[in-house]
Amino acid sequence: MTEPRPQLFHLLQAEADCPTVLNDPQQIENSAPVTPEQEAHMDLEPLPEQGNLIGFLLIARKAEIELSSGSEVEVAAIMSRFNSLQTKGDATRYITEIMSRVAAAQVKTEKLTQACH
C-alpha cells in the first residue's frame, strides 16, 4: 500500500499580480510584418544574456556536438565557433545551419533504417 503524498502547494489566497485579461491572439497575428530594413537592424543587435534565443542556441550547440565525431579537437572547434557568436544574425545563421544538418542526418538515418528492413 502506498502512502498518501503530502500536499506540496497550498494556495491560501489568489495571486494579486496576475493578469485578469489576456491579449487577443488575433491582434498579435495581425501585426505588420517585419521589413527587410528592420530585419537587417535586428540581425546586428547583440545577443541577449538570457532568454529563449540563448536556450535555442544551447540546443543547437548540443545537436552539433552530437552530430560530430565527439573528438576533443572537434568539440573544441564547435565550442570556439559557438563562443564567437555575437549578434542575433549570427545566432539565426548558426541555428539555421545546425537545423539543416540535423534534418539531413534524420533523412540519412531513415534511409539506413529502411535499408535494414
Residue 88 lies in a domain: yes
- Torsion, CA 68, CA 74, CA 78, CA 80, rounded to 10: 180
Residue 63 lies in a domain: yes
Residue 99 lies in a domain: yes
Domain that includes residue 101, residue range: 48-116
Domain count, the chain: 1
Residue 98 lies in a domain: yes
Angle, vertex CA 14, rays to CA 9 and CA 18, nearest 5 = 110
Residue 91 lies in a domain: yes
Q: What is the pTM of this model?
A: 0.69
Residue 2 has a pLDDT of 65
Residue 12 lies in a domain: no
Residue 32 lies in a domain: no
Residue 16 has a pLDDT of 77
Q: Which residues of the chain are under the pLDDT cut of 70? A: 1-12, 14, 27-30
